[in-house]
Amino acid sequence: MKSVPTFISFLLPFFFLFSCSAPKQKEAKPAQENEEPKIVNIINFIRLLEPRSKDITEDVLYQTVVKQIEMMKQYDLGGTFLLQYDALMDSRYQNLLKSLPDSVFEIGGWFEIPQPLVENAGLEWRGRYPWDWHADVGFATGYTPEEREKLVDVYMTDFKAIFGYYPKSVGCWFIDAHSLNYMYEKYGIVASCNCKDQVGTDGYSLWGGYWNQAYYASKKNAYMPAQNSENQIPVPIFRMLGSDPIHQYDNGLGTNRQGVVSLEPVYKKGGGDSTWVNGYFNHFVEGESLEFAYVQAGQENSFTWEAMQKGFEIQLPLIAKLRDENKIQVETLAQSGKWFSENYKTTPATSVTVLNDLPASHKKTVWFNSRFYRANLLSDNGVLWFRDIHLFDENMASSYLTEKGTSNQCLYFTLPFVDGYFWSSAEKTGGLYFKATKNGQEVVLNGEKLTTTEPENGTLKVFWELNDRQGIFHILLDENTMEITLESSENLDWFLELNTIENAELPFILIQPGKADMQFRGVNYNVEASSGYFTVPENEKIFRLMPEQNKITLNFTGKSAM
């Protein structure tokens, strides 16, 4: 992903969406009329140098950007170029980017911290190289809040001296809340972007956040969606890289580092594979997204044009074709940020749905996000379970809010209720499973047919039809709650059960019939059952959720006790 690593030798294949007879997906509309716009940002960010390989010279990096621009112009595609400070100060990049028409291209900031920026801010450089990717050196989290402001001031002042205006967009793999809010209040940025969810890649773990699309962050934590407008930074943060909705999550189960399955064009079985790319954009256009769908295409120049050319040649013609068919709209990051702010005063509920994988895989998935929680359903060979449920709390302060990070890693988390990555191994997949008791035996329920619809704004309904006509589960997800009901002519004794590996570090401190109390990283929170109830089985399972009158309703707005 961000490094120049050895490309992953094995990535699972992707998927094609199929048309379900009921409920039907919305028909494609012209972008200006589309109630659920499908937004593509082509974002390429630029570093001056790459110390990790002697073969990647400054000229190789510059020519990579030249080739990116040439191909974008070939397909009449605009986009955003984000400049790291060392590249910002280089006259070649200045002249190249100034020549682009600002009606279709945006020049913004990439806020990794190289040596010239630190020294021009009057600070001491602690890096191993003129640009060092370690979190305590190359990112704002490695500096005190006062030092971060100096770094922002130098960047903005020099950017304006070169281009005549302050950047409207500033991105990075992660920008802390203090720096982001300072950029907004003093310099008026309108958009930002950060890394997709990942564990351990390049030492950066961002886990449990608003999955894809965009959100308003808490003033205390730039990774945490805020619940109230008065406590949010009013700059939408877009999630980068086009994460595979099915296969990214489980890549690397049982290890401390995920692999990468994303739209990035350098990955030969991801964004560099035509089957994968066409499948991705198929679900992107056709899948239920509630409010809008979003993806970032493009690549940092550190990977070089030789590595990314094939992926660009696959993706850009397809993006141009979908644009010409009015199925997507290609925008700059600033345009998307302005649109988001004009339409949403708080973070909206959105979804990402993939209702059919490649035939050899038989997987389907549904992601739901709101300002209060995220949830993910995964179906594999007819078995359905909640792979992930994380809660959001604007009062959970980041470790870097007032103090600088001293580790070469960076960690951002939200509040787990179900965590199918950290509570799993290569041999056992954790999650909240649909089960039943039949003839005194526990069985995992099975059903192949999964469909979705949007019954009203901000609400996603998932239908899961069990095999052998045992019934249909209705899973209703709205901003605050999840309601699960079974429509069945049989008296099916069903329940949900949390399965984990034995040595999982779990947050549960007290399970009562009406709620589960949890604590994670010093934050207390809970999930309430307003219908149905929690129970702790004698067989040392963590908990079960039992229905009442065939219904379970969970409330995810449980506040922390700070």
User: In sequence order, which residues have a C-beta less than 8 Å from that of residue 218 and are 6 or more positions away?
Assistant: 177, 224, 225, 226, 231, 232, 233, 394, 395, 396
pLDDT at 299 over 50: yes
pLDDT of residue 360: 67
Percent of the chain clearing pLDDT 70 (strictly above): 92
Look up residue 420 and give its two tokens: 């199918």
pLDDT at 323 over 80: yes
- What one-letter code names the amino acid at 19? S
CA contacts within 13 A on the Cβ side of 63? 10
pLDDT of residue 3: 45
Span 457-471, average pLDDT: 93
Residues in the chain: 562
Instruction: Give the whole-angstrom CA distance, residue 400 versus residue 411.
Output: 10
CA distances from 347 to 215, 241, 454 (A): 5, 20, 18
pLDDT tens digits, residue range 25-73?
Answer: 333 333 344 578 999 999 999 999 999 999 999 999 999 999 999 999 9
Span 442-457, average pLDDT: 93
Instruction: Give the whole-angstrom CA distance, residue 109 versus residue 46.
Output: 9
Nearest to 209 by CA among 184, 189, 226: 226
Look up residue 92 and give its two tokens: 């070649």
State the DSSP H helix or E strand holding residue 221, giving kind and residue range, or none if neither.
Answer: strand 221-225
pTM for the model: 0.92
Pairing outcome for strands 523-531 and 551-555 = antiparallel
pLDDT of residue 437: 93
**CA torsion angle 426 430 431 432 (round to 10):** 140
CA distances from 232 to 18, 27, 177, 209 (A): 38, 34, 10, 15
Q: Say which range, 18-32, 267-281, 298-312, has the weakest mean pLDDT.
A: 18-32
pLDDT of residue 17: 32
pLDDT of residue 256: 78
Q: How confident is residue 561, by pLDDT bands cut at 50, 70 and 90?
A: very low
What pairs with residue 376 in β-bridges? Answer: 367, 388
Which has more pLDDT, 256 or 438?
A: 438
Domain-wise residue ranges, the chain: 351-392+413-555
Span 180-196, average pLDDT: 98
Span 150-167, average pLDDT: 98
pLDDT at 20 over 90: no
pLDDT at 105 over 90: yes
pLDDT at 143 over 60: yes
DSSP character string of 156-184: HHHHHHHHSS--SEEE-S---HHHHHHHH
Look up residue 313 and give its two tokens: 């040649």
State the DSSP H helix or E strand holding residue 476, giving kind and residue range, or none if neither.
Answer: strand 472-477
Look up residue 345 and give its two tokens: 């005063």
User: In sequence order, which residues have a C-beta less than 8 Å from that of residue 16 and are 6 or more positions away?
Assistant: 278, 279, 282, 283, 356, 357, 358
pLDDT of residue 1: 47
pLDDT of residue 358: 64
pLDDT of residue 5: 41
Average pLDDT score, the chain: 91
Q: 541 and 506 in contact (C-beta within 8 Å)?
A: no
Instruction: For the chain, state the CA radius of gyration.
Output: 23
Instruction: Give the whole-angstrom CA distance, residue 360 versus residue 15.
Output: 10
Span 455-472, average pLDDT: 93
Look-up of token digits 């593509």: 40
SS3 of 256-301: the string is CCCCCCECCCCCCCCCCCHHHHHHHHHHHHHCCCCCCEEEEECCCH
